[in-house]
Amino acid sequence: MSRSSKEEVFVTEFVMGLGFLGGLFLKVGVDPEGEVIKALISVFPISPFIAQLLAGLITIALTLTSIYGAYSLGGTLGLFIVGVAFISGLIISSSPEIGAFLLIFVILLAKFAVKEGS
């Protein structure tokens, strides 16, 4: 994979997806993974305890996998960038100027994270 395509993957998947949208979803109270799991459970009925356990394990596994992916592609700087993108998602509704500035800043900084992490 070329560096420019790694940069695109890092920005779209980790900065925007894991970081910014994760913070935004947390701010508005939406759990997309939880909703998908609920939909699957409605198709394949199982006990509520098993459903909660399964939902928690899947959420933890997906989060850890995403964090590992961000680290392997962007290194320590990449994790910092994803964290700042998460914060920008959290504050975008209460302080749109700061949230947008932080998001634009980390998208521009992502180029250097991919160089460091690869």
**DSSP code at position 29:** T
- CA dihedral (54, 56, 59, 62) in degrees, to 10, reads -70
Encoded tokens for 19? 């970081």
Round to whole Å and give the CA distance between 25 and 19. 10
Encoded tokens for 48? 């509520």
Q: Give the tens place of pLDDT for each residue, 62-95.
A: 889 999 999 999 999 999 999 999 999 999 999 9
Band (pLDDT 50/70/90 cuts) for residue 31 is: confident
Q: Give the structural domain span for 59.
A: 3-117
Total number of domains in the chain? 1
Identify the pLDDT of residue 118: 56
